[in-house]
Structure 1
Amino acid sequence: MIAVLNRLVEFVEGHLTDEIDVAGLAMSLGTTEYHLRRMFSSLAGMPLSEYVRRRRMAVAAADVLGEGELLGIAVKYGYGSTEAFGRAFRSVHGVAPGDVRRAGGPLRTQPQLRFRLTVEGNTTMDTRIADRPAFRLIGHSARVPLIHHGANPHIQAHIASLPAGEHIRLKELSNTEPAGLLQVSADVDPDYTEGSGLTYLHGVAVADKTPVPEELDAIEVPAGTWAVFKAEGEYPAVLQSTWAATATDWFPSSPWRLRPGPSIVAILDRAADFSTASCELWLPVERA
């Protein structure tokens, strides 16, 4: 996967003034657009689209400092107007193209990325592969923004809004793996952009033919393979670090890749105040 990401970066560098077909590029590299975007975002710390924009504007700065017309420069980098180009330029450099042309700066440079895999071997990931038939995720869902670090207050508010007895009722409905109360993230932006929307469902898994009570939301999950990572420790930090380790350690050295589908957290055990927990992270995967 590291080699694939570096080939992606090289392709981007050679096509900064072109529209990039990420889906076609992913196919030519032997992977999928979904997996490519998720791995890039996880390892680079920014979405692929953001990296492309930053690199374009870093290179475009040299043209802005020249004598060419700003409209021509805008068109060269794929923008239909100087206004659209100016917004993109300002979002990266903090100043308008005209100001840079007059004053010579300030400019912010996005270096070309290089991915490297550092193998330390001092952390063992407790992982299993599970082939599961189709099932349903049922419960109470809400649209919330994606937050990478720390507790998500929008999810906390959603869970707090449920009556205490509802958690017990949901657990009684569970009749298949993943077992127990689940935290489900679905419809996530493939770039994993912080602040983008996702569907969060607080609920349980049931067999695919199980009737769904009218008051509950449902997500249909087709048959497929899952990588299941067990994590124990301070919550939610241990879960977030496990998420990060799947991208930095596990996927680059495994024959599996992410496929579209919900990610699921099953809480196996927890402290009364939820400061620590034992949990499983279920990620939908397929052979690379």
Structure 2
Amino acid sequence: MLERLNQAMDHIERHLDQPVDAAELARIAVTSEYHFRRLFSALAGVPLSEYVRRRRLTVAGAEVVAGQRTLLDIAVRWGYGSAEAFARAFRAVHGVGPGEARRTGAPLRAQPRMSFRLTVEGSASMRYRIVQKDSFHLVGRKARVPLVHEGMNPAIVEFVKGLPAETRQRIEALSDQEPAGVVNVSDGVADGRAEGTELDYWYGAVTGADVPDDLDVLPVPAGTWAVFETSGPFPQAVQHLWRDVFTQWFPSNPYRSRPGPEISRSRISADGGHVDAQLWIPVEPAAA
């Protein structure tokens, strides 16, 4: 898998002056576009589109300083419709405008070309199982919140605090299958998973029964799920588990992610410092 990802990175470099074609990159990596975007952002730490933008402006920066082409020619080559649009994008990455960089030789910021390799960090193994699950309903309350990679998410904390105790009890009572009890669910996450982008957060339960009309409902079709387990400090253990699933488990296992909600079931200690958690990720067999 990593070899194919690096072939996709080579393709990006050969076509930096052309619109990025995520579908073609996924074909090179022999996976789906959905999974490619998620895997890339997890491994690279930035969305695919942002990486490509930085790489283009890194190469454009070298051309600006070289002084052999006009700034407008450079702007057009790298896909900007005007010198003004190019200057704004250039300043956002380098901290100075292209004209100033050419006149003064100001230092620029480079986005290095990326390649991927698997690094073994310790001997701990990941606990997981593959589950074939019939269709079900996710029932509860949902809110649109920003994505937070590290630490508590204030928007989620405030949303859950605002739920009446009676509502939370009703939701928990609806649970009749795995993952049992109250679950926390992320759905509608942007492909790049950039910090601050919005997603649908659900405080809910998984059920196959009829559901009340006054609660939010998400029908989830039958499919395959990879179920991961972890224990550790809260909330870092859950957030790090998601990261490790995409940076370690997917590159070394014959599965890829598929569209669907990501479900977390957490049991937090009385002092709020420790969690035993499961993470349910919708998956499908990777292409041969």
TM range (shorter): over 0.9
How far has the Cα of 1:33 moved from its partner? 1.1
Q: Aligned pair 1:70/2:71, yes or no?
A: yes
Identity rate, percent: 51
Tell me the residue number matched to 2:38.
38
Tell me the residue number matched to 1:55.
55
Tell me the residue number matched to 1:201.
202
Q: Aligned pair 1:260/2:269, yes or no?
A: no
Provide, for residues 50-94 of structure 1, a one-character-per-residue CA deviation record: whole Å limited to 9, x for no partner.
Answer: 110110000001221214222221111111112221121111101
How far has the Cα of 1:156 moved from its partner? 0.5
Equivalent positions of 1:171-190 (< 5 A) are 171-190=172-191
Output the CA distance in 2 between the equivalents of 1:51 and 1:119: 25
Tell me the residue number matched to 2:271.
273
Output the CA distance in 2 between the equivalents of 1:125 and 1:241: 12
Provide, for residues 17-65 of structure 1, a one-character-per-residue CA deviation record: whole Å limited to 9, x for no partner.
Answer: 0012111331243101111111111111111111101100000012212
How far has the Cα of 1:120 moved from its partner? 4.8
Q: Is the 8 A contact 2:131 2:226 kept in 1?
A: yes
Output the CA distance in 2 between the equivalents of 1:287 and 1:121: 27
Partner amino acid, structure 2, of 1:160: K
Output the CA distance in 1 between the equivalents of 2:271 and 2:161: 14
More deviation in 1-10 or 178-187? 1-10
Tell me the residue number matched to 1:286.
284
How far has the Cα of 1:165 moved from its partner? 2.4
Tell me the residue number matched to 1:251.
250
Q: Is the 8 A contact 2:7 2:28 kept in 1?
A: no
Please state whether the residue corresponding to 1:252 is helix, strand or coil. Answer: helix
Partner amino acid, structure 2, of 1:225: T
Provide, for residues 190-220 of structure 1, a one-character-per-residue CA deviation record: whole Å limited to 9, x for no partner.
Answer: 111111010001010111xx33322211111
More deviation in 50-59 or 84-93? 84-93
How far has the Cα of 1:121 moved from its partner? 5.8
Q: What value does the CA root-mean-square deviation take over the aligned residues?
A: 1.3
Q: 1:176 to 1:250 in 2, by over 3 A?
A: same
Please state whether the residue corresponding to 1:123 is helix, strand or coil. Answer: coil
Provide, for residues 130-162 of structure 1, a one-character-per-residue CA deviation record: whole Å limited to 9, x for no partner.
Answer: 010111111110100101101100001100000
Tell me the residue number matched to 1:2.
2
Unaligned 5+ segments in structure 1 are: none
Tell me the residue number matched to 2:153.
152
Tell me the residue number matched to 2:128.
127
Partner amino acid, structure 2, of 1:108: R
TM-score normalised to the size of structure 1?
A: 0.95
Q: Is the 8 A contact 2:176 2:206 kept in 1?
A: yes
Provide, for residues 111-141 of structure 1, a one-character-per-residue CA deviation record: whole Å limited to 9, x for no partner.
Answer: 1112111235601111010010111111110
Partner amino acid, structure 2, of 1:39: L
**Paired residue total:** 285
Partner amino acid, structure 1, of 2:191: P
More deviation in 181-190 or 212-221? 212-221
More deviation in 237-246 or 141-150? 237-246
Output the CA distance in 1 between the equivalents of 2:170 and 2:270: 19
Please state whether the residue corresponding to 1:247 is helix, strand or coil. Answer: helix
More deviation in 233-242 or 271-280? 271-280
Output the CA distance in 2 between the equivalents of 1:16 and 1:43: 20
